[in-house]
Structure 1
């Protein structure tokens, strides 16, 4: 097994999206960076950071391509860094999970998520790990876009640090002990 990993946080760039539900992937990586003293810098197609942890080299990216073209950045960095698909982890928001629930899967369908759909198309595969970050689904018919691009309400903002920490722990676990054991720990 290669000791090099690519961790992708999905989101949209721009201050108007910063704390929106659709940016859960960015938020997980920003929290990891703040707690582990590494910084992101603007590179081709993404903000990137490199982090060494327990002998693993972890390349983290926040694509700057906008959500529905995320696959371009993922594919570019997998090739650029020579990272096998088994060592790819994509972090995404998921409206089908209640707020704060995390679900790690070794593969799966995009489930209506445009970022995952584009990654599937570009990689021509659904065989990669994804960490789904529950944002809930408290929206009425036809209001999904407003909901996912909306801010977390105050009571969820209060819980966010704890959920982001758990998601960060899941990322570290994936890169160190592998997907099976990580799923056993984090998929309650």
Structure 2
């Protein structure tokens, strides 16, 4: 084994762990956001809005799809400014919240706008090029010992987080039902 090969392995190991953590987190956020959005889409005003979004043309769909990233960029920059000024807890909390909101919004917008976005030839070609490569990268990463270690470590967190989210969603449903009853009567 050459020195260059050893150095490469040593330097890439933390990146593999970081990639595993990021991909597991993104996957979890995507699924949680999709479930939350599906729950919220049952509300009549949001259902009507989603029908309008799904009916958009390709260019309008692309603009709307990019909106969460553009809208949250100033928020993230302000969070970094807060961190730089010594308010690290607030800054990190804002960045995490922006990531959660952004992932949920992008997940839903992707689902709603994908048929229109695929009508853009360059987008369809890029997606057709990227998705198989992403699947291959993820398959390669999942085969690594680092992935298995991170997956085992995060598996212990899934149950408590899922229970907490279910409780929060149940409270949200109860509050929405109470508001509906207060507005429209029993």
Taking structure 1 as the reference length, what is the TM-score of the superposition? 0.25
Q: Larger strand proportion, structure 1 or 2?
A: 1
Which structure is larger by alpha-carbon Rg, 1 or 2?
Answer: 2
Q: Larger helix proportion, structure 1 or 2?
A: 2
Taking structure 2 as the reference length, what is the TM-score of the superposition? 0.25
